[in-house]
Chain A
Amino acid sequence: MLSKHVLTVMAIVLVACMITPSIYAATMDESEILVDMESAHADEYDELVNIAEDSSTIPNYDTWDPAPQGIWIGSNTQESHFQLGVVTSTNSTVTLVWSVRFTSSQIMSGVSEHTIRLPLHVDDSVTNIALYVVAVDLVQSCTLNGATITYSSGANQKYIYQRSALDPTDSSIMDGNDVYVRNNRMYVNIVAPFYPGQIYTFSLSATYAMDASPSWYIAPNDVASDSIINSWVGWTIPTGPGTDTRDQKRLDIDWGVSYDMRGGLGNGITAFTYYMNAGDTLLWCIWAPYAVGLNGYHTLTMPFYTDTGEANFSVEVIHRGTGDTVLSLPNTTYQQVILASNSAPENATPGYAIPSYDNMFIVNLTAGAGQWVTFYFRTTPLEAYSTGGNNVTRFSQLNPEYNFMGSPFPGIFGNQPEKYIGFVPISSYLVCPTQIEQPILGSYVEPVVPESFSIFEKGIINGLYLFGVKVIQNGVEFVANAFDIQNAGEAVVVAASLMMGGAGVTWWVVSALTDLPSPIDVYRSIQGAFNNVLDIVWDALKAFGNFLWSIGEYIYDTLTWLAEQIVEYGAILLGILIVGAALVIFFMPIYAQLKLWSIAWSLAEGKFKEAAAQAQDLAATTSSAVGKIKGLI
């Protein structure tokens, strides 16, 4: 019969139809054609990218060389290379200015150290680069006149980084300094405090040789997602003696800058660990109004950390105004804290009780032997002040010299130290009525102070005794009633002495340096005294509440899991039903048509009985199918 051959053919066709879509689905992803249309001026930062297709997009993160080490902030995809349509003459200057405001989700409570990749394209035609960073109060913080920047009134700018000569030919990462150029991009390591929510304006000035075409990179999106897309470019091109061509543009775009946040800053305090060779120095400035006009022993107190707990330093303190050396103590081994006091009292300390350029003490700490040393630093708007051409705080290596942190030089704002922000080591500088000797760690010595001393002087001595020191006045030691701290109450008394003395070091620093109980220990002692029956009842109720909570959480998790399974496998079940329905709806009509044509052929052949038999067969089959469908329903 006809149905025998047709059904065989149809079965083969159906099998083919079932297999084909799977093959088609598997090969669909490979059939895309990517057309890479590179620009003639493209480099590795600039090529046509398809943002919708992840596989062809190179993240901007991957263009860093070497790869970032901390929290990276920058544009998502590669930057575009933009060339200025001018040709430079000798000593032409191009200035790029941009602003950024980081969020706490990016840098938490602050950053003490980060590496920035500048947007400038650095090649042989760039002879010098200057970078300035200021904290400002305005988004529109400045304007440009050619390459010269002018800050707006109300910007309240505070310099936190200022370097006027970055070497554009420095390609070495390991040479010890904080600048290197890789793949025509300059990376600068900045050690300065950056806080979330604060607007920072960066200005970058590049000096060019003759016949150069300045170029830089533009970000495809808002860098740091701070809604600040406010960038300036200005250029000044000398055209003759005393004359130049200058222009400036402001664009609603971000320059191609990115940041690698490498060091945290907890509440304005951070620490840095460096390997100090013999002869390496740490230099910083101290403004000590409480020392002005006093006769006495200049005393420097400063904590540090080494693996052995010991380190050898030479301490030299110079008064900036007079140039006199007020404290010099060479090659002394200290334990955990530097406690340097000169052997003879100085006459009334010169200076003024207001912060000024000449009223600073310059502290120079020189290592006596090579070892790793950790110093603790805090930010300050006051004492981060210049020493005249030197940075505020410097860690200097002999060869090559390495400026530990950038900072302003004098002359920009005159005697306005509040304009500067930087880091200074956590230390205290006192003019004491007595000489200080080596600390005796782990003990508190109650001093016997002559009644003739003022309350202020008594407080200072009390504060110094907290470090466990031995005090000598006119050859007589002030040592009496020595005892160890045994309980929190005594520690509170000691802390009160410290506050009265104004030693400038907080309690936790002292606790870390000595065997005194820490504030946490004191807190636990107080907590223990109040840990009574009510606490036990409260804990029991809390445990029962946690049990109820865990049951509810288990039920919620189960329902969530069930919903996820339905969503995941429901689509597959629906697909199977669709395939089944498609097969039924396809086969049944064909079967019926074959039967009808068989009946027609039998009628055409005049075999009426055979036609009637086939009609009955079709009716029986249809009735059976309808019955099965009814059964299913």
Chain B
Amino acid sequence: MDFLGISTWIWDLLVLQLLPFVSMVLLIIGVFGVVNRLPDTITNYAKAQAAKISKAFGKKR
């Protein structure tokens, strides 16, 4: 296999095979990270909103 053959082989490996594979892995990791973070964020958001509401009603008493 000459140099040009090796080059096209690298192209096939990186662009056509590794890039889709890595993209899929990143997609899984990314979605997992987002799903993992959302509950805490939503909880914190709810707590913060609840605290605001509670504080508002407390002032009225």
Which chain A residues have a beta carbon within 8 Å of chain B's beta carbons?
2, 6, 10, 13-14, 17-18, 21-22, 24-25, 28, 571-572, 574-576, 578-579, 581-583, 585-586, 589-590, 593-594, 596-597, 600-601, 604-606
Contact = CB atoms under 8 A, between A and B. Distances in A.
A597 B37 CA distance: 12
B52 to A, nearest CB: 15
A591 to B, nearest CB: 11
B37 A593 contact: no
A25 B6 contact: yes
Contact of A585 (B9, B14, B26, B27): B14
B30 A585 contact: no
Nearest to B30: A597
A582 B4 contact: no
B26 A578 contact: no
A586 B29 contact: no
B8 interface: yes
A579 B14 CA distance: 9
A614 to B, nearest CB: 13
A581 B11 contact: yes
Q: Is the interface of B mostly helix, strand, loop or mixed?
A: helix
B6 A2 contact: no
B13 A601 contact: no
Given A10-B22, A18-B10, A578-B4, 14 more contacts: A17-B10, A21-B10, A572-B4, A575-B6, A575-B8, A578-B7, A586-B14, A586-B15, A586-B18, A590-B26, A593-B30, A597-B26, A597-B33, A601-B37
B49 interface: no
B58 interface: no
A426 to B, nearest CB: 61
Contacts of A574: 4, 7
B34 A582 contact: no
Contacts of B44: 606
Contacts of A24: 1
A470 B54 CA distance: 156
B18 A17 contact: yes
B38 interface: yes
A448 to B, nearest CB: 87
Contacts of B7: 574-576, 578-579, 582
Nearest to A581: B11
B26 A571 contact: no
Interface in B1-59: 1-11, 13-15, 18-19, 22-23, 26-27, 29-30, 33-34, 37-38, 40-41, 44-45
17 contacts: A2-B33, A21-B1, A21-B6, A572-B3, A576-B7, A579-B7, A581-B11, A582-B7, A582-B14, A590-B22, A594-B26, A596-B30, A604-B33, A604-B38, A604-B41, A605-B37, A606-B45
Nearest to B45: A606
Contacts of B27: 593
A576 B11 CA distance: 11
B19 A590 contact: yes
Given A600-B30, A604-B38, A585 B19 contact: yes
Nearest to A585: B15
Top-10 shortest CB links A-B? A575-B7, A597-B30, A604-B37, A25-B1, A586-B14, A578-B7, A582-B11, A575-B4, A606-B41, A604-B34
